[in-house]
Structure 1
Amino acid sequence: MDNVNGLNQPQSNSNNTGTGDGTGQSGLGNLVLKNPSSLNDGDFLILGHDNGSLAEQGTELPTDFIGGKRIGREWLIKQTGDVGTVDLTFDLSGLSISGSEDFDFKLLIDADGDFSAGATIVDVTNINGDLLEFNGLDLPDGSYLTVITKKPLFSIANLWYKANEGVSTSGTFSWANSGTIPNAQAQQINASQQPTYNISGTSQINFNPTLTFDGVDDLIETPVLPDIYNKEGRGERSTQFAVYRRISTNPVIVYSIDAAGTPSPLHIGMTDDGRMYQQNTVAVPTSTTALGEVALTDMTAVTDSTEVPGTFNSLILNKNGAVGANEFFVSYTDVAPNPLRIGRYNGIFNQVEIAELVTYPIILSESERRIVQSYLALKYGISLDTSVNAYLDGEGNQIWSNTNYWNDVFGIGRDDLSGLNQPQSNSLNTGSGDGTGQSGKGNLVISNPSSLDDKDYFIVGHDNGSLAEQATELPSNYRNRIGREWLVQHSGDVGTVDLSFDLSGITVSGTITSDFVLLIDSDGDFGNGATIVNASNFTNNVVTFNGVTIPDGHYITLVTKRGFIFQNSSLWLKADDGITAFGNGNVSIWADQNGINSLTTRGNVTVNPEVINFNESVRIVNSGDGLPANRMEGTTPISAVEAFAIYKTNSTTQTSLIGSTVNVGSSTTGQVIFGGQSSNPNRVLATDGVNSRQFYLNSELSSKFTLNNYDLSLSASPFSSARLDGASIAVSNEGESVIIPN
């Protein structure tokens, strides 16, 4: 306002974006200021923008709105004097905007133009068509503003119960609501009626807790809840998701908000065979949930009291992402708000295991529905149907989309938008709640990522190949592998992981840890260029690989038998291969041909060229008893059942070829194979280092190279057998059977 010039302009818009009466031009984001609470001489409120995009962006948002959207453009406010509060309208016509509900739209006002911290957040007052109205605003001089157009998906669920959070079993059993409806905890005071909280064992779902309701008297319920729907005219709109395991032979209600009569019309609800309800209108799946099956069931629903089939009522039901039914009006009943009950309906108690329940007061878009499905599927090891086309993270980015390997898809990951933090996982198609494999299914478990940050995912699917062994597409010198191949896709970086394969019920050739190898390949042709990782352990039919790095887009399979006998050994050292020498010719490292061990020199160790039939030998010289000064030490303990060595001693003193650095008992000999004895220089010993010693005599031990062979597997005295240059030789026993040296 300026009295000198006669200016009195209480409302305004830019003619570049609006019109004479404030109507916005399509696609230009017109902004109108009006209704100042105080407008005196010398009071001015002026806005201009940075010419930023009117498209949505997902960056520079307050913490609680990360995962949402805002207009890219920013406006600067200049105020002279004091106009008090004002009303502001923003015209969305012609703009591509994600939001559709009142709660999606906010005005951000910030002092420095960085809206990610310190911004004031103002709710929309009214939405009139494409026009957002914000009334009674205080716009400080020098501040900036922009418009939020979509609230984060996981922040608008009105009911959200997850068994891994918010469960209290102390005294009153309570399950907290993580959704927007306050004071909606589901509780049970009576101890005898409280569900069982499963935090371990097979009643879990993919390592996540569940609540088991016994079907006898277990029940939890909330206070009376307000209407959970978003209503448009006479219609109600909602989206429901549930993850549960069916354990009852007869279909029962898993959860419900109902009128508590007999019969009791359902406000919302779901049966454990997969049917879902809204206002007593039901959608029936084409594939019912079987006994013992874990299912992810969801439904978008529009119901309307006009009862016009196919016009105002539509229920679209999915099971594990696949559309199971598209049901229209059945029998609408307007059900008043009531408590949410889990465990009982219509006077009947329900037997079920439930892990998570989420409801929204709106119809989610197809992409929003996929985001929630992906979150629940990855959390609970459920493989979504290929019709969903892609798994999405909390921001809608694709994290899995390969249809050729879309079998038993599962993975680990973290997404702070949804609260997902899943550091171990298996597919429930092949495994179980605690990772125990189903017989004959080849269950794979991924666990222990070395780094798991927000938006880090490691997802696996397979080609549905056979779990039988095959002898093709292998690196040279490998005999058998599993036919199946898995593809790994990353988002972010989870670092190294542990993998375990459950071979129970599968016929494989391997019997010991050294038989098994993980192959990692960039193009899926394992016959050429594959990275080889030795197994860390093989126990109870489960092969484990620890600390493995698998790059994004690489393929894996499992070798179940090395190619020939040497590759099944726990140690294989050759003087003509695997040796790294210092500049002075001394040996620094002697590598095991099977990759299990790497021996490092302590003291001085040398290589003698062309010592035995034009082949090299390794020479180690020591004197005295005890731990030798010149030696080589391995990185990994070995177990010896049968051992071979070509060597000679070059002296008549005590000489041990393979010994342990572990001090066992009081024996000065220690654990050895091919050990020596100064008082009997022709003896070749095997001893456990406590009280057992077996030996045979080799009169040529110090004069020439001989082939020595010990078999320590005998269960009766003398507990071992031996061969010298291929011929059997008598073994004498001084004590009990040898404990296999490590």
Structure 2
Amino acid sequence: MQQWNDQSTISNNARQTTGGNKPVFNNTVINGYPALRFSSDQFIDGLAAPGISTTNSWIFFLVFKQNSFTAGAANDGAGSYLMDRTSGTNNLMSLKIVNTDKFMLQKRNDDGSGLGGPISTISAASSQFVIADHYRQFGTAYGLFVNGKSDGTSGDDSGNLTGPTLRIGRHASTANGGLNGDLAEVIMYNNFPTTTQRQQIESYLAIKYGVTLDQSGGGKDYLSSAGATIYPATTSHAVYNNNIAGIGQDDGSALLQASSQSQNNLSVLSVSSPSTLTNGNFLMWGDDSPTITNSTNVPAPYINRLSRVWRAKATGSVGTVTLSFDLTGLGIDLTNTSRFALLTNTSSDMSTATASTATRTILGNVVNFSGITLADGTYFSIATDIIPGPGGVSGPTAWLRADNGAYLNAGVTLATNGQTVQQWNNFQGSASYNVSQATSGNRPTFLTNSVNSNPVIRYSVASSSLDFGAMGVSSSSSLEVFFSIRPTAINTTGSVNDGNGSYFMDRTTATNALFGLKASGTKFGYQKRNDANNGLGGVATTSNINTSTFQLVNMYRNYNVQYGIAYNGSIESTLADADGPMTLPNLKLGNHATTNVGLVGDLPEFILYTRNLTTNERTRINSYLAVKYGVSLSQATATDYLASNLSIIFPSASSYSGFSTDVAGLGRDDVSSLLQLNSQSVNTGSMVNLQIASLASDLSFLIWGSNNGSVTVPNTVDVQSPVLRRLGRVWRVSNVNSVGPVTVNIDLSTVPGAKLQADLRLIVDADGVFNAGTTALTGTLAGNIFTVTNVTLANGNYFTIGSVSLSTPLPVQLTRLTLA
């Protein structure tokens, strides 16, 4: 693009005649509109000064997206510049990135004095459009607004500052010192608008580009060019202040928006095809939650809906519209079309909603409803099939599973055993939460059959990592992370208060904000720090890091309430949270941001939620991970194992409390995408492995745990002929949904003495008293592994190993000792 013409009456056009410095015009970049693509060294220059006199107030509005940026300092010319001057003049009214990831209005007077300016507290987003205003209110302040929120001011020294000829997209003289991303619109006023006028301008830009105005700190209404409230985000629609978007016509703003969708990840809803659209008419909407889960608040015969409820705001009438729900990334099965309906109501209670299906069409992952009239104030949602999620807890922001989506390259070829992993794809949700590693020498390795028949991502050297891109998470968001992890070696020199020791998760660059998992001495430590560089510290487990087996670690922040960390499902440490905003930095899995003190070991699964979870939800996720990876949940607080439908599948907190050691299980849970056909506890000496060819029914489980009885002192009393002795260790089975015959493998290597196949029996009993009513089954012995096939284990059954011969030491029992 060579010239960008000014749409105001001033006609101050901008131009670039050098081919290599020309930005590229791209169609349909954001909400149906084009943008100019800059690659750090592209820029366009005003053909004249902007007409800002020495004592003018002024304000600029820029709508842009940064794919990446570099940070300079407040008093230098380094870092990414969004706007500067065309030559090295004293006078500055520039917009740049400083302090790692903050916006700065860099100003300097005509005489070279007063270098400085306000810096934002909100972090600059990458890969998402933002509305950034920077201004001078002469004699009062310089300041910044980000997405409509005041975010940094500094006093005005009343110095003379004449507007220089402006350069859009790069620093005046520094090559590659500019925007790497897209620029959609630039607006300048050589006066300072009133609060209402600024709100009108920001509303126009927000509607046009699908940018949700910042609703923190009391919220912000959307206004038309006439000053009318077209979305009352501070009053009647205050609960519905997420993913705000709208269609409408506003001749005073030259706005004709016939289709729209919020640019936010998983905003889901787009609205298009209004049958009537005239000046002053708008249809706006917002929803009640940035996350999406399942809800059973539905009218019959529907079974589920998205937990998110939208509310419409109509100004005038746009007639009928088409509502399109893009369910991509939610993992919903769309084959049963009867489960999908548009739900509308005059209240947010969807159990009494009207269900509409007459105009429903499904194309790919998009469910469309055409010819829909949304009256002012209408509440609506969509009935769907169930959204899968670990433990049935839907809506993870990131769910990384080694058994799905580990790629040798950039998402084309799945890695096979022993190959390095360049990209690990998000199993459910937005692809923007894939993780990757561009440097081949820093890539971890994919290994199959490494934990309970499941694969792992192995970090062999402390420099290995897989990195997230922009997280796009609110600074006031609650956070919750789950790891299945086995560090095989750790550096124990650090704590949650420093940068030493092994890091299992950190940020990709050295931001103020910290949300990390590390070795705090010999414990797992959750390291935290807020946006203002305060509150360094955190919480640590009381359990030691186990370097020989897998464990489950769960760390959370319940915003402004509590920090916590759990080990194998039991919360071991908490801390009150009064730290305030913490913008989730781009996360690095497996290493520290700047020093190679990373994970050496295995990471088969990582789950991130950007909301606070209930105790029940945590238990369901931990149960899913425990069954999958053979990890026994801690019973420091008695805890049952739960399926995705909330049912108890192993009652370790009640009737099975004496059998909560070395718990493992077979299971199928479709909502959790779990199919475990071969399982054994990862605990050393766990002994029992069970296998089954298939599980035909969803929500089928066969889970067992032991009484941790002796394997060296035999029981010769509680036995039934022909069995003469048995192990003191007994296992008990929970069979859910009639799981059929299995193969039982018992590792007898920890049982002293020789074993004879002919003497060994698998003993199964219904009540745990083995002197009557038992079934004794023969099997085969290969080395120390005793195998019995086609074994039916009913719910509540007990089993152990016995011998039919006193001459077979199972185990050795000393009956006589003669000394000569």
Tell me the TM-score normalised to structure 1 length.
0.54
SS of structure 1 residue aligned to 2:617:
helix
In the alignment, does 2:461 pair up with 1:215? Answer: yes
Change beyond 3 A, Cα 1:249–1:323? same
CA contact (8 A) 1:477 1:564 kept: no
CA contact (8 A) 1:455 1:492 kept: yes
Q: Which moved more, 1:278-287 or 1:239-248?
A: 278-287
Residue from 551, 554, 559 that aligns with 2:794: 551
User: Deviations for 1:187-246, whole angstroms, at most 9, x for unmatched residues?
Assistant: 23443322122214xxx222211122123432322333322xxx4xx6320111011002
Match of 2:756 in 1: 512
Residue from 694, 712, 725 that aligns with 1:480: 725
1:556 partner letter: F
Match of 1:693 in 2: none
Match of 2:442 in 1: 193
Residue from 562, 573, 576 that aligns with 1:325: 573
CA contact (8 A) 1:253 1:345 kept: no
In the alignment, does 2:761 pair up with 1:530? Answer: no
Change beyond 3 A, Cα 1:55–1:382? closer
Find the aligned partners of 2:786 and 2:648 in 1 and give their Cα distance: 31
In the alignment, does 2:680 pair up with 1:426? Answer: yes
Change beyond 3 A, Cα 1:147–1:206? closer
Change beyond 3 A, Cα 1:249–1:278? closer
Residue from 453, 457, 465 that aligns with 2:709: 465
SS of structure 1 residue aligned to 2:400:
strand
Match of 2:803 in 1: 560
Q: Tell me the CA shift for residue 391 of structure 1.
A: 0.7
SS of structure 2 residue aligned to 1:446:
strand
In the alignment, does 2:500 pair up with 1:244? Answer: no
Q: Tell me the CA shift for residue 425 of structure 1.
A: 0.8
In the alignment, does 2:543 pair up with 1:287? Answer: yes
Q: Tell me the CA shift for residue 422 of structure 1.
A: 1.0
SS of structure 1 residue aligned to 2:433:
coil
Match of 2:425 in 1: 176
SS of structure 2 residue aligned to 1:177:
coil
Match of 1:397 in 2: 647
Residue from 524, 533, 557 that aligns with 1:274: 524
Find the aligned partners of 1:132 and 1:518 in 2 and give their Cα distance: 67
2:464 partner letter: D
Structure 1 unaligned runs (5+)?
A: 1-22, 24-34, 39-53, 72-81, 98-104, 126-130, 138-144, 304-311, 431-440, 566-742
User: Deviations for 1:396-433, whole angstroms, at most 9, x for unmatched residues?
Assistant: 11111121222221101111111111111111123xxx
Match of 2:783 in 1: 540
Find the aligned partners of 2:378 and 2:663 in 1 and give their Cα distance: 46
Match of 1:368 in 2: 617
2:404 partner letter: E
Residue from 195, 198, 205 that aligns with 2:451: 205
Q: Tell me the CA shift for residue 344 of structure 1.
A: 3.8
Alignment of 1:59-70 (within 5 A): none
CA contact (8 A) 1:106 1:121 kept: no
Alignment of 1:623-634 (within 5 A): none
Alignment of 1:612-631 (within 5 A): none
SS of structure 2 residue aligned to 1:347:
coil
Find the aligned partners of 1:58 and 1:411 in 2 and give their Cα distance: 36
User: Deviations for 1:628-647, whole angstroms, at most 9, x for unmatched residues?
Assistant: xxxxxxxxxxxxxxxxxxxx
1:164 partner letter: D
Structure 2 unaligned runs (5+)?
A: 1-235, 237-247, 249-273, 277-294, 310-317, 323-342, 410-419, 493-500, 531-536, 809-820
Match of 1:415 in 2: 669
1:478 partner letter: V
Q: Tell me the CA shift for residue 169 of structure 1.
A: 2.5
Find the aligned partners of 1:462 and 1:209 in 2 and give their Cα distance: 26
Alignment of 1:76-115 (within 5 A): 84=320, 88-92=344-348, 109-111=356-358
Match of 2:403 in 1: 164
Find the aligned partners of 2:540 and 2:354 in 1 and give their Cα distance: 42
Residue from 598, 601, 604 that aligns with 1:352: 601
In the alignment, does 2:542 pair up with 1:301? Answer: no
Alignment of 1:379-398 (within 5 A): 379-386=628-635, 387-398=637-648
CA contact (8 A) 1:223 1:340 kept: no
Find the aligned partners of 2:365 and 2:355 in 1 and give their Cα distance: 10
SS of structure 1 residue aligned to 2:662:
coil
Match of 1:496 in 2: 741
Find the aligned partners of 1:258 and 1:450 in 2 and give their Cα distance: 41
SS of structure 2 residue aligned to 1:483:
coil
Change beyond 3 A, Cα 1:532–1:341? closer
SS of structure 1 residue aligned to 2:672:
coil
Find the aligned partners of 1:405 and 1:191 in 2 and give their Cα distance: 46
1:302 partner letter: N
Residue from 442, 445, 448 that aligns with 2:689: 445
Match of 1:340 in 2: 588
Find the aligned partners of 1:332 and 1:471 in 2 and give their Cα distance: 64
Find the aligned partners of 1:471 and 1:428 in 2 and give their Cα distance: 30
SS of structure 2 residue aligned to 1:470:
coil
Find the aligned partners of 1:296 and 1:561 in 2 and give their Cα distance: 41
1:489 partner letter: S
Find the aligned partners of 2:774 and 2:299 in 1 and give their Cα distance: 40
Tell me the TM-score normalised to structure 2 length.
0.49
State the structure with more CA Rg.
Answer: 1
Q: Which moved more, 1:355-364 or 1:488-497?
A: 488-497
Change beyond 3 A, Cα 1:175–1:500? same
Change beyond 3 A, Cα 1:83–1:215? closer
Q: Tell me the CA shift for residue 395 of structure 1.
A: 1.4
In the alignment, does 2:454 pair up with 1:454? Answer: no
Find the aligned partners of 1:285 and 1:323 in 2 and give their Cα distance: 8
User: Deviations for 1:518-547, whole angstroms, at most 9, x for unmatched residues?
Assistant: 111111111111112111x11221111112
User: Deviations for 1:169-194, whole angstroms, at most 9, x for unmatched residues?
Assistant: 35862211123232332223443322
Q: Tell me the CA shift for residue 329 of structure 1.
A: 3.7
Q: Tell me the CA shift for residue 477 of structure 1.
A: 2.8
Find the aligned partners of 1:556 and 1:108 in 2 and give their Cα distance: 52
Find the aligned partners of 1:394 and 1:368 in 2 and give their Cα distance: 9
CA contact (8 A) 1:219 1:341 kept: yes
2:657 partner letter: T
Change beyond 3 A, Cα 1:294–1:59? farther
1:191 partner letter: S
